A and B are shown apart, each in its own frame.
Chain A
């Protein structure tokens, strides 16, 4: 096991940030912590990267204990915090050299590992990090976290606030790194990114709600979801919420996702109900659950 977390709890004054959390990440696995702001993801990252002590529980990273062997861990892991943490007034090249030197290595020594990513920002190597675009900053931060060839890579919300194109490219990079044998623990508030992980932990309010592969999370979901749409979305939400047997109604892209309480739910009856409410262009059909559907129902 690359990461073992056992019954970790952490409170800040009287606020419980994480509560009795346990999970394991296998060597070479791409493991996702999926949850919104305030779920406790960053606290877990800080404990595992030895920047924060837990109140209870124990954890090992690359077979080192996070408390006793903290120095060894710092040499064997790469950490990209959520907030951009490079030196804004150093250039791209200077930042990378700085991090290489700190870890007692050189850019050349592990160039192989960062090559695919670094060539994308190399044209701007004389530019100050602070003047880079969001996508480029993110690539530089990843290079700096990789420069000492870590066994385990920690990425705390690397794609938050990043546009869909850059997000997609970033995940493609992670897949490549995984092929090189690096274990990756990554967190994200974007549920659609969960599908890119081998396994995920769904986390909310400091507790892990579920750990499984993304396929299993959706496959094991036992409720039937209907895609519904009509011309007036706002009115449709209101009317569906007043349908007697409704279980939940949520907007999901171009459709609403509707779940009914009844086992023998009849979509024709619902259609009639909506027609009587003067809805037009009504569509109702069965949909496949997504990670986000499951998350919202936990």
Chain B
């Protein structure tokens, strides 16, 4: 394959005292790919992701994200990526406009850029009428859509989504995935975690972490073939069963 690798992970390890949360994982993510990062609760997903976005130092091993070493160039990594999670999305007590302006500033956009981006984003999401309302007034699904757009404000090459659709209603969940598809189509790499196994099917490739190691990594189609089952849910159950 001659595709550009946007993430390159080699023997990445993180230990907390005597506990090894991430055990020497290695994988690549291609430019423009939708990469699903799955695993049971406590499997080490969050720890691994924190290292990739430059907020946790690896104990050993290497990771290069968007061309920058997460150990020595973590500030550059942070500038080159977008990040959103279910837990931290927006400031509830700021308006939609204020949130966009705030994050635009954080990402280092100029005043003019922020103004343009704000108008563009509000129009694209159809939020004209509520732009000056507090974010807390938005339904969760809309918050998540807005939060995703904000994570893309500085046009990062890669965006990390940590359980972006948890608790979101079924229609909005699909609209959210259509936004993901559209963004991937533009060439942005998507790195996403989810507990919805139907969403695992939407990914180009999926990795499954079990007790700190990557136990499987392939396209959903190949994984189903390999484990001789008909859904990603069954693949997951086969791999992660009986592990606490």
Chain A residues packing against B (C-beta within 8 Å): 35-39, 133-136, 157, 160-168, 189-191, 204, 233-234, 237, 250-254, 292, 295-296
Contacts of B43 in A (CB 8 A): 163
Report yes or no: B232 in contact with A253, Cβ–Cβ below 8 A.
Answer: yes
Chain A residues within an 8 Å CB radius of B178 = 234, 237, 251
Q: Is B182 an interface residue (CB 8 A)?
A: yes
Asked if A165 contacts B40 (CB within 8 A), the reply is yes
B244 contact from A133, A164, A189, A252, Cβ within 8 A: A133
Q: Say whether B41 contacts A164, CB under 8 Å.
A: no
- The closest CB in chain B to the CB of A293 belongs to B170
Report 19 cross-chain contacts, Cβ distance below 8 Å, ordered by A residue: A37-B168, A133-B42, A134-B41, A135-B41, A160-B167, A161-B41, A161-B167, A163-B40, A163-B195, A164-B237, A165-B241, A233-B202, A234-B178, A234-B184, A234-B185, A251-B178, A253-B232, A254-B221, A292-B170
Instruction: Output the least CB separation between B162 and chain A (Å).
Output: 11
| Size range of the chain B interface in the assembly | 35 or more
Within the assembled complex, what's the spacing in Å between the Cα atoms of A296 and B196? 17
A37-B168, A165-B40 provided; 17 other pairs, C-beta below 8 A? Answer: A37-B167, A135-B41, A135-B42, A163-B39, A163-B43, A164-B40, A164-B195, A165-B240, A189-B169, A234-B178, A234-B182, A234-B185, A250-B171, A251-B174, A253-B201, A253-B232, A254-B221
**Contacts A36-B169, A136-B244 hold; do A166 and B41 have CB atoms under 8 A apart?**
yes
Measured CA separation A35–B172 after assembly (Å): 13
* Residues in B28-81 with C-beta less than 8 Å from chain A: 39-43
CA distance A163 to B39 in the complex (A): 7
Determine whether B243 belongs to the interface, using a CB cutoff of 8 Å to chain A: yes
**Chain A residue with Cβ nearest B224:** A254
In the assembled complex, which residues on chain A have CB atoms less than 8 Å from the CB atom of B202? 233, 251
CB-defined contacts of A160 to chain B, threshold 8 Å: 166-167
A-side binding surface: helix, strand, loop or mixed?
Answer: mixed
Distance in angstroms between the alpha carbons of A233 and B221 in the assembled complex: 14
Expressed in whole angstroms, the Cα–Cα distance for A204 and B221 within the complex equals 34
| Count of inter-chain pairs, beta carbons less than 8 A | 99
Within 8 A of A (CB), among B194-244: 195-198, 201-202, 220-221, 231-233, 236-237, 240-241, 243-244
B117 CB to nearest chain A CB (Å): 24
Interface residue? B102 (CB, 8 A): no
B198 neighbours in A (Cβ, 8 Å)? 251-253
Expressed in whole angstroms, the Cα–Cα distance for A135 and B163 within the complex equals 17
What's the Cα separation between A292 and B170 when bound, in Å?
7
Q: For the complex, give the distance between the alpha carbons of A87 and B168 in Å.
A: 28
Residue of B nearest to A295 (CB): B170
Is A165 within 8 A of B169, CB to CB? no
Are A250 and B174 CB-contacts (below 8 A) given A164-B233, A164-B236, A234-B184?
yes
Complex contact B170–A36 (CB within 8 A): yes
User: Are B139 and A162 closer than 8 Å at their CB atoms?
Assistant: no
Instruction: Assess whether A162 is in contact with B41, with CB atoms less than 8 Å apart.
Output: yes
Distance (Å) between the CB of A247 and the closest chain B CB? 14
Tell me the minimal C-beta distance from A152 to chain B in angstroms: 25
B residues less than 8 Å from A254 (CB atoms): 201, 220-221, 231
Bound form: Cα–Cα A266–B39 in Å: 41
* Nearest opposing residue in chain A for B221, CB measure: A254
In the assembled complex, the Cα of A241 lies from the Cα of B172 at a distance in Å of 16
What 5 pairs across the A-B complex have the smallest Cβ distances?
Answer: A36-B169, A134-B41, A37-B167, A234-B181, A133-B42
Q: Which residues of B contact A251 (CB under 8 A)?
A: 174, 177-178, 198, 202
B134 sits at the interface (CB 8 A): no
B residues less than 8 Å from A165 (CB atoms): 40, 236-237, 240-241, 243
Does the CB pair A38–B139 fall under 8 Å? Answer: yes
* Nearest CB of chain A from residue B201's CB, rounded to whole Å: 4
The answer to whether A191 and B170 touch across the interface, beta carbons within 8 angstroms, is: yes
User: B residues within 8 A CB of A250?
Assistant: 171, 174
Contact of B197 among A135, A164, A237 (CB under 8 A): A164
